[in-house]
Structure 1
Amino acid sequence: MGSKYPESLRISLPFWALILEGAFILVFFFFTSYETPSKKLELLKLYPAAFQDINVMVVLGLGFFKAFLRRYAWSSVAFNFFTLALGVQWAIILEGFLFSFSSEKIIINIHSLILGTMSAMSVLISSGATLGKVNLLQMIVMTLLEITVFQGTKKFNQYFLKGHEEMSMMHIHVFGAYFGMAANWCLSWSVPNEAKEKERTTTTSSLFTTLGILFMWIFWPTFNSALLKYSSEKEAAVYNTYYALAVSAVVAMSFSAATHSDGKISMTHVHRAMLAGGVAVGVATNLIQTPWIAMVLGFLGGMISFLGSKYLSGCFTRVIELHDTCEVHSTFGLPGLLGGLTYILLETEQASWTNSSMVGFQILLSAGCLSLFIAMGLAGGILTGLILSFNMWKPPPPAKYFDDQAFWEFPHLAVGF
């Protein structure tokens, strides 16, 4: 029995993917070079301490995080990895041309690899909203457009709003969440009943998601501290992130049991809220000077993430027909908003008010930075969603949503699948 998926994708997907990869190779050939050997010591320090941990987060963590659908596990993990592999190359190119282009060359070092991986994470977050409803060709287009919008937003923020690089990168959660929601809203306003049946989870698929959550939980302190310049800031970021993650994990299970009629814990709600503390402290982690503030953020982040997953997601589906497959709004968007607002409050509290006009101006810039990433995420997501809705990309029919058989060859005729 042959696949019911459009055969034309057999030509268009390899054609565009290989053309794009060839173009990347040419750009790297003409415009990039490695950093001088004198800085190899930095590589030895940063590779195991930052780059390797972040790679585990995005490859295994986010890959398994999306593997909760019982008939979409292969695509969840493999498409996540494909998107990362493509996105990192494009992010490094854009980062080089926009921020570090000198002497007609882009200097490649361990720092550029970390920035490229973290920038590509924006697409990995967004793709959680569209999970199971787009094909790999659409993901290629989404990767190119989203990373371009994110890099452009970061450039505008750093040059015009005077935002720091680490702060700009920590807004990736709200940007990715709202970009994905906006794109998803344009792509599919409703999920047919025959596809909803395939959206259920199984014990095995839920265990894979738990494994992904644990990978990200373990390595999230590295993610929040990787771009900070001073060792004291890095140390504080690790401590604050760990405290916040610990509290949000306790809150997730407690709230889940408290809201169930029989006092049982919902693994779905735990998945959404366990990481909220790490997201919430990301932007303001270098301003948090005592553990209790990080713990309060972990508590609030876990609470709003849980409540968003339990109540707000259903409201979105009923009112505006927005189907967020991975509930990225509850997992990343709401805690990211909390973190952005916390940064503004802490900046206000710690400011020296001897020059109130300058303090007010700085607070206005910080608020503008958060608003900019949200607005550009929504605008870029809507534009991308409209582009991806064209039939030229051969989108999967609604009946084939959340189904690995639309993309993968199985060694049998899917007996028992």
Structure 2
Amino acid sequence: MVDPRQYLFPLILFLFQIVFTFLLGFHSEYKYFPVSNVTDYESPSRGLVEFYYAMFTDIHVMMFIGFGFLMTFLRRYSFSSVGFNFILCAFTLEWAIILRGYLFDWDSTTQKFIVDVQSLATADFVSASILISMGALLGKVNSVQLIVMSFIEVPIQVVNEWIGLHLFCGFDPGESMYVHVFGAYFGLAVTFVLFRSDFLDSPLEKSRYTSDLFAMIGSIFLFCFWPSFNAGVTTGSDRIHAVTNTYISICASVIGAFLMSSLLKKSKFDMVHVQNSTLAGGVAVGTVAGSNIGLHGAMVIGTLAGMISVLGYNFLSPRLPNIRIHDTCGVNNLHGMPGLMAGITGIIVASIGDRSGFSKHLTDTCRGGGKSRDSSTQSGFQAAALGLTLGMAIVGGLIAGMILRLPIFAQKGKDFDDEENWHLPENESKEDITRGITMARTAL
């Protein structure tokens, strides 16, 4: 008998696509600002394609190639890692453009929201958050659960960011709090609810030489383009600060990660550390990327982030299952802890005053003094933005996890195995698969 749930994925996508088409059709409009009209290059119009497009394309590559290939390390899950990343990112971008349009850019006069290059870039930021959550769940959920998770997570992330930016006015140009912290702890909360002890015994939750090599492709793309991620929507002096600080910090995290990996692995290196912890500096500097922290400050942040991330993979990750958390990609070590580090750094730097640059981004909607907010108040609101993000991520993730556990979504299958989701090449016969599993179990 045919299980009707096998048609659930195309049905959900079809219905969402119809709704999204109508919403964009009735309530969105193009926005372009000619470069010939620019008189203030310190604060160019957000509709200026020539100013924003180059960095937008870098961010777009990070989402589809960087994150996609970074998750191909599992020996039998590469099709799903790249494929699910592809569809989930595309779905999230559509949903994020709509929700951010209504919440951030709604014009009550025209009854429309604008869509320009900056809208596309900020939608990519939202997708980064959802892809980080996917990393915690990689190999343990099906395609329907990922789409449903994205549908739930995107509005929570967008509302959290709106409160953080417009009410708390927490300065975070690299989105370390609103993207990395949120995505990591939302995903970890979901995996807490979906935890099963048999996740820990799967022989397929291992890498192999070629899968690790493909994952390094994602790491290198992310490394190269991270300055664009942290500087993508900045302008003026904030942009040169963000590009330079990120460049230095992420290079420093490579040094810190290799250094700590060599110490812990007795003069050898662990590829997990090289694939992930080397990027931690890009996350850790994000909140203060647009600030005048000095290149020595970026060096310190990046080096510490790389070292702390490696320590997390080595000591913390093996202990998380004791509290019912199974983190497939180690997002706590690459995004969670470095994101918290960024948030704490933002609290400290905000107290410096002029060097933090936060005062340039205050508006009359900001609580605690509006445009006249002082440094100590800003530090308090930076802490509030970080705390709110953690709270909304964890609570939202727990609720999403309970929904994903509903029988209609939680279709049981083999974990960490492409055979559940893809037509595999003919040379990947079941005998080959069985032989590989047997060899893996023997090695264990």
Please say if 1:190 is aligned against 2:194. Answer: no
Please say if 1:337 is aligned against 2:340. Answer: yes
Q: Which of residues 286, 294, 302 in structure 1 aligns to 2:298?
A: 294
Q: Tell me, yes or no, if the aligned pair for 2:288 and 2:342 is still in contact at 8 Å.
A: yes
Measure, in 1, the Cα distance between the counterparts of 2:34 and 2:127: 28
After superposition, where does 1:125-164 map in structure 2 within 5 Å? 125-164=132-171
Please say if 1:212 is aligned against 2:218. Answer: yes
Measure, in 2, the Cα distance between the counterparts of 1:186 and 1:210: 30
1:168 CA displacement: 5.4
1:359 CA displacement: 3.2
Match of 1:9 in 2: 5
Structure 1 gaps, min length 5: 1-5
Structure 1 residues 101-127: Cα deviation after superposition (integer angstroms, max 9, x where no partner): 111112111110111111111100000
Measure, in 1, the Cα distance between the counterparts of 2:404 and 2:333: 24
Please say if 1:280 is aligned against 2:284. Answer: yes
**CA shift in 2, pair 1:193/1:155, >3 Å:** closer
What letter is aligned with 2:258? M
What letter is aligned with 1:9? R
1:375 CA displacement: 1.0
**CA shift in 2, pair 1:158/1:46, >3 Å:** closer
**CA shift in 2, pair 1:34/1:351, >3 Å:** closer
Relative contact order (alpha carbons < 8 A, sep ≥ 6): 1 or 2 greater?
A: 1
Match of 2:421 in 1: 407
Please say if 1:370 is aligned against 2:386. Answer: yes
Match of 1:44 in 2: 50
Measure, in 2, the Cα distance between the counterparts of 1:376 and 1:38: 39
1:37 CA displacement: 6.2
Please say if 1:23 is aligned against 2:19. Answer: yes
What letter is aligned with 1:158? L
Please say if 1:221 is aligned against 2:221. Answer: no
Structure 2 gaps, min length 5: 37-46, 356-368, 434-444
Count of residue correspondences: 403
Q: Tell me, yes or no, if the aligned pair for 1:272 and 1:309 is still in contact at 8 Å.
A: no
Match of 1:257 in 2: 262
SS of the equivalent of 2:114 reads strand
**CA shift in 2, pair 1:217/1:131, >3 Å:** same
Structure 1 residues 371-415: Cα deviation after superposition (integer angstroms, max 9, x where no partner): 111111111111101110111114333xx0000000111243444
1:165 CA displacement: 6.9
Q: Tell me, yes or no, if the aligned pair for 2:176 and 2:283 is still in contact at 8 Å.
A: no
SS of the equivalent of 2:182 reads helix
What letter is aligned with 1:341? I
**CA shift in 2, pair 1:8/1:246, >3 Å:** same
Measure, in 1, the Cα distance between the counterparts of 2:260 and 2:91: 39
Structure 1 residues 308-360: Cα deviation after superposition (integer angstroms, max 9, x where no partner): 1110011112x2131100000001111111111111111113369xx999433
Match of 1:120 in 2: 127
Please say if 1:303 is aligned against 2:303. Answer: no
Please say if 1:200 is aligned against 2:206. Answer: yes
Q: Tell me, yes or no, if the aligned pair for 2:181 and 2:339 is still in contact at 8 Å.
A: yes
Measure, in 2, the Cα distance between the counterparts of 1:157 and 1:78: 32
SS of the equivalent of 2:121 reads helix
After superposition, where does 1:374-393 map in structure 2 within 5 Å? 374-393=390-409
1:8 CA displacement: 3.2
What letter is aligned with 2:334? T
Which has the larger displacement, 36-45 or 372-381? 36-45
Q: Tell me, yes or no, if the aligned pair for 2:32 and 2:48 is still in contact at 8 Å.
A: no
What letter is aligned with 1:200? K
**CA shift in 2, pair 1:343/1:37, >3 Å:** closer
SS of the equivalent of 1:242 reads helix
After superposition, where does 1:42-191 map in structure 2 within 5 Å? 42-47=48-53, 49-102=54-107, 103-164=110-171, 166=173, 171-191=178-198
Measure, in 2, the Cα distance between the counterparts of 1:99 and 1:165: 16
SS of the equivalent of 1:340 reads helix
SS of the equivalent of 2:198 reads coil
**CA shift in 2, pair 1:131/1:37, >3 Å:** same
Measure, in 1, the Cα distance between the counterparts of 2:410 and 2:397: 19
Measure, in 1, the Cα distance between the counterparts of 2:293 and 2:130: 32
Q: Tell me, yes or no, if the aligned pair for 1:122 and 1:173 is still in contact at 8 Å.
A: yes
Q: Report sequence identity in percent.
A: 35
Please say if 1:242 is aligned against 2:247. Answer: yes
Match of 2:316 in 1: 312
What is the root-mean-square deviation in Å for CA atoms of aligned residues? 2.1
What letter is aligned with 2:105? S
Measure, in 2, the Cα distance between the counterparts of 1:332 and 1:408: 29
Measure, in 2, the Cα distance between the counterparts of 1:193 and 1:170: 30
Q: Tell me, yes or no, if the aligned pair for 2:97 and 2:123 is still in contact at 8 Å.
A: yes
